[in-house]
């Protein structure tokens, strides 16, 4: 039995002895003292060394979640491209690249990070609604795999630049299939009135207009949104894409693949999983004449990360009890921006009575809150763990209120490395001039 399997078995035995079962991300577990560990490393030892706030990532869960996607697409000629926007750490991009993943990017900055991480341009898909001409030219000169096209203007710009460079650009038309993702309106991207994609009718018009001599049309794509729990919606999008692909083939284009994007949900309360197996099973009822491209981000990295924060103090206003912590909306903006709720616990289990508390940060905004009605037992000086912080935490972080960005730690095979140092005040002002 592998060491990792033994560790998980021990964890299960500990939990069963306590007559309870708590779901934690793979690699994160509580020992016999109720202390949170990851791959054999005590979390409190990391906080003692690096301070808080602190992001910690577990390669064990990242690998497990990635392989779930990989194993499911093997049967349908599939490709996996990691959505870099979820977490743009060079080390995390490199980790997925070494597992065989390509990348889905939405800026030239993400392109440079991917190249630095060792992902070759021929495995990079360039998505996004606002590519400027310099970004397009840089991507073309480096022979990226393809552009996901969002408008005729963008297509024309790519055609002109490619012609100047005497290069043929690979094109995938991003369709707006007018499907609601049934998630938060800020992350629904497949409705007819949103800024992303083009209609199926416009896709056919553009294909006819530009023809096989001007563009190398290799695929069709759609990304209807994030945090999708109903996989039937993705199947509906696929069905529309396949119908469009068949029409494009009839026009003489050699369509290689269908890209249904990402968006598969995770459960931030850590009570259930949304496996890609279910999605692939549903998609297999369609023909296999086109390869399948998936662009997971949140679903393979979110639960692999935690945010550790220190309780600075406790106060009561009216009927509300507040745990004031040193992490804020600038570190993890999802609760403030989307009213998202992450599972939050004390880093060390306690037998003390748990109270209903609001967990709030130090930023000068009422919106700087991780949520209310958390059952937590904590005192000033204790540490809390915010689960499922591996996606859209660090990558959406800011310096609002002139706050420093925290360190980030990657744990792999019972060892750890700093993948981003704690920011200093010198870092903040080095680009400013008086």
| pLDDT above 90 (res 262) | no
Phi, psi of 15 (to 5 degrees): -65, -40
Q: Which residue has the higher pLDDT, 5 or 352?
A: 352
| C-alpha–C-alpha distance, residues 143 and 146, integer Å | 8
Residue 273: band (very low, low, confident or very high) from pLDDT cuts 50, 70, 90: confident
- Output the average pLDDT for the chain: 87
Average pLDDT value for residue range 402-412: 97
Residue 181: band (very low, low, confident or very high) from pLDDT cuts 50, 70, 90: very low
Residue with tokens 């730690």: 409
Task: Give the largest CA-CA distance in the chain.
Answer: 72
| C-alpha–C-alpha distance, residues 51 and 424, integer Å | 13
| C-alpha–C-alpha distance, residues 333 and 340, integer Å | 9
Location of each CATH 2.40.37.10 domain in the chain: 3-58+303-424
C-alpha angle 297-195-125 in degrees, rounded to nearest 5: 40
| pLDDT above 60 (res 404) | yes
pLDDT tens column, 228-252? 777 888 888 888 899 999 999 999 9
CATH class of 60-302: alpha beta
Instruction: Write down the pTM of the prediction.
Output: 0.90
CATH class of 3-58+303-424: mainly beta
Entry field: residues in the chain: 434
Question: Could you tell me where the DSSP H helices lie in 18-151?
Answer: 43-50, 59-73, 90-98, 108-116, 133-141
Residue 418: band (very low, low, confident or very high) from pLDDT cuts 50, 70, 90: very high
Q: Which residue has the higher pLDDT, 203 or 223?
A: 203
Answer yes or no: 357 catalytic.
no
pLDDT tens column, 48-84? 999 999 999 999 999 999 998 888 887 778 899 999 9
| Cβ burial, residue 293 (10 Å; 0-12/13-18/19+) | buried
Establish how many alpha carbons lie within 13 A of residue 251's alpha carbon, considering only the half-sphere containing its beta carbon. Answer: 22
| C-alpha–C-alpha distance, residues 392 and 382, integer Å | 25
| pLDDT above 70 (res 152) | yes
Q: What is the DSSP letter of 423?
A: P
Residue 434: band (very low, low, confident or very high) from pLDDT cuts 50, 70, 90: confident
Location of each CATH 3.20.20.10 domain in the chain: 60-302
Residue 179: band (very low, low, confident or very high) from pLDDT cuts 50, 70, 90: low
Asked if 380 and 314 count as a contact pair (C-beta separation under 8 A), the reply is: yes
Q: Of 172, 194, 357, 364, which is the active-site residue?
A: 364
Residue 212: band (very low, low, confident or very high) from pLDDT cuts 50, 70, 90: confident
Average pLDDT value for residue range 358-371: 95
Report pLDDT for 178: 58
């Amino acid at each position: 039995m592998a060491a990792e399997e033994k560790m998980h078995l021990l964890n299960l035995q500990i939990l069963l002895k306590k007559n309870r079962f708590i779901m934690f991300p793979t690699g994160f577990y509580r020992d016999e003292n109720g202390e949170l560990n990851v791959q054999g490393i005590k979390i409190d030892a990391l906080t003692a060394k690096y301070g808080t706030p602190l992001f910690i990532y577990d390669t064990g869960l990242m690998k497990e979640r990635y392989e779930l996607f990989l194993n499911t697409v093997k049967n349908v000629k599939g490709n996996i491209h990691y959505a870099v926007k979820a977490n743009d750490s060079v080390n995390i991009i490199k980790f997925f690249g070494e597992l065989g993943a390509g990348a889905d990017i939405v800026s030239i900055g993400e392109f440079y990070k991917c190249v630095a991480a060792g992902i070759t341009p021929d495995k990079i898909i360039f998505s996004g609604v606002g590519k400027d001409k310099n970004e397009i030219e840089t991507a073309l000169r480096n022979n990226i795999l393809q552009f996901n096209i969002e408008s005729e203007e963008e297509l024309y710009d790519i055609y002109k630049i490619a012609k100047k460079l005497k290069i043929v650009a690979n094109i995938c038309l991003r369709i707006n299939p007018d499907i609601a993702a049934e998630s938060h309106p800020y992350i629904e991207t497949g409705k007819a009135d949103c800024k992303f994609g083009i209609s199926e009718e416009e896709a056919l018009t553009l294909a006819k207009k530009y023809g096989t001599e001007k563009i190398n049309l290799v695929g069709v794509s759609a990304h209807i949104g994030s945090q999708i729990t109903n996989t039937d919606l993705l199947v509906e999008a696929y069905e529309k894409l396949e119908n469009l692909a068949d029409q494009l083939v009839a026009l003489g284009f050699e369509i290689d693949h269908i890209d249904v994007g990402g968006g598969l949900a995770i459960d931030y309360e850590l009570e259930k999983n949304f496996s890609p197996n279910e999605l692939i099973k549903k998609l297999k009822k369609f023909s296999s004449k086109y390869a399948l491209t998936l662009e997971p981000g949140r679903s393979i990295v979110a639960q692999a990360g935690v945010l550790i924060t220190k309780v600075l103090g406790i106060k009561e206003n009216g009927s509300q009890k507040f745990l004031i912590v040193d992490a804020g909306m600038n570190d993890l903006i999802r609760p403030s921006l989307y009213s998202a709720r992450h599972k939050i616990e004390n880093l060390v289990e306690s037998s003390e009575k748990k109270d209903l508390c609001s967990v709030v940060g130090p930023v000068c905004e009422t919106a700087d809150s991780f949520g209310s009605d958390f059952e937590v037992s904590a005192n000033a000086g204790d540490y809390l763990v915010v689960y499922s912080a591996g996606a859209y935490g660090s990558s959406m972080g800011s310096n609002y209120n002139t706050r420093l960005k925290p360190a980030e730690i990657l744990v792999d095979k019972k060892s750890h490395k700093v993948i981003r140092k704690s920011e200093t005040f010198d870092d903040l002002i080095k680009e400013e001039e008086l």
